Amino acid sequence: MKKKIIIFDTTLRDGEQALQASLTSNEKLQIALALEQMRVDVMEVGFPISSPGDFESVQSISKIIKNSRICSLARCLPQDIDAAAKAMKPATDFRIHLFLGTSKLHTSSKLKKSFNEITDMAIASIKRAKRYTDDVEFSCEDAGRTSLKKLCQIVEAVIDAGATTVNIPDTVGYTTPTQFKNIISTLFERVKNIHQTIISVHCHNDLGMAVGNSISAIEAGAGQIEGAMNGLGERAGNAALEEVILALKVHENILRTRTNINLKEIYKTSKIISQFCNMPIPSNKAIIGKNAFSHSSGIHQDGVLKNRENYEIINPKNIGLNHCQFNLTSRSGRAAVKHRMKEMGYQKNDFNLNELYTDFLKLADKKGQIFDYDLEALAFFKRQQNTEEYYKLEYFDVQSKLSGLSVASIVLICGSQTNIQKATTSNGPVDAIYQALNKATLYPLVLKKFSLTANSEGKDALGKVDIVVQYKNRNFHGVGLATDIIEASAQAMVNALNYIWKSTQVDKEIKRLNKQ
């Protein structure tokens, strides 16, 4: 029989306190609802004594959330415990989470108390919290650097006092998985009443070992994992819950464990938290990063097409992501090109794969990444790649005023035609020049992405602008490079416009060929 592991989410407490700006009550509620939908067992939603705003948000979440247990943090102080209980009073069931430093460093330099005094404080606080709820968790802060003898002593004492969960945090991410596993194993060996409670772990990622430490604790007998979605938290963050959950799932037959988590909600919940917290997810982030299910190597792409499990240990659909992504670059093979053409609706008789792949490699070496419209142009209208650009920006001028209005004037060469346009906008100089270009070309565009990066340093640094625009439900990429940001932005849009024009010519050519 598989052991159920309790998933304790602290995104709204430990994760939120590490953000540059606090979340609003409504944002916290939306995150809490997403976590509930994901079916986390316990969600730590705040530290009520810390501020009136935090108290109110804990209170409002306690009124709404019904299917996950609400938990609040409290120091081992009467006023903290009372505030936590009062904030969570609307909840049907709730947990009070107490914490106190137990390492020699914390007791002497931070708390300035003896270990016996710390133990007495913990016992008294647990008994006070038990007046409000039967569910009390006690955390031995900095347990990773607490002597094993003293750690065993205080764990036994707090269990006797009534703690239903005892948390062993690696507060500063100090231990290795072997060391941390030994700590948990030692507790199970030496603490006589340990089976009267649930042992939890809360690992930080200062050395990049938070998830590894958490899994090693499960192997040693821990029954609860604490962490935050996307790995949010103080300094380098907490154990990333999505990584812990998937590690448990992938190795469930070895670890003999299970969770209540709805895996299909993981990706959506991660994105919601990323957006509300204004914390972008790194592309190479495990499970939820943009590249987690992307493949660039031709060998990998071919392997995935033959059997996904060749290079993917997790099916992206299991976490709510409906596709994996092939990045078409010079490292891609024929199989990936053929697959992408098929996905776009073309049959193998519609094009010559060998010729297409040869041209594809040449263009990929020059351009870096190849997009759908590039493939179509190579397959059906190859000569268009060698023609001059249809659109050329001959001249532009942008004036901005303190009122917020920006006026852009352009001279755009459109084939053999010259189009002069002017646009006024309150959204800034870049938007003004984009509006003028749109008027000149009459393409109904939607700007989907705009990013600016500096390619060097100093006053003459080149600014690189990358944009993605949508035209007729297809995305087109444009790049501009200049010392002037507005000029780089204009170049990027003209670059994208030329790709759109080429795609329209490809469409015409395909229609002509189909009539033959």
Across the range 490-501, mean pLDDT stands at 91
Is it the case that residue 305 has pLDDT exceeding 90?
no
pTM, two decimal places: 0.71
Q: Residue 462: which pLDDT band, with cuts at 50, 70 and 90?
A: low
Could you give all domains of the chain from N- to C-terminal order, each with its CATH number? 3-277 (3.20.20.70), 294-384 (no CATH), 391-515 (3.30.160.270)
244, pLDDT greater than 80: yes
Rounded (5°) CA angle 470-465-336: 55
Confidence of residue 141 (pLDDT cuts 50, 70, 90): very high
Q: E strands along 40-92, which residues?
A: 42-46, 69-75
- DSSP 3-state assignment of 329? coil
Spatial CA neighbour of 160 closest among 116, 199, 127: 127
Name the band, by pLDDT with cuts 50, 70 and 90, for residue 459.
very low
Residue type, position 304, single letter:
V
pLDDT for the residue numbered 461: 53
pLDDT for residue 340 = 81
Residue 282 or 307, more confident: 282
For 379-418, the pLDDT digits (tens) are 765 544 444 688 999 999 998 877 778 899 999 999 888 8
Say if residues 324 and 294 touch (Cβ distance below 8 Å): yes
Q: Is the dihedral of CA 234, 109, 184, 154 positive or negative?
A: negative
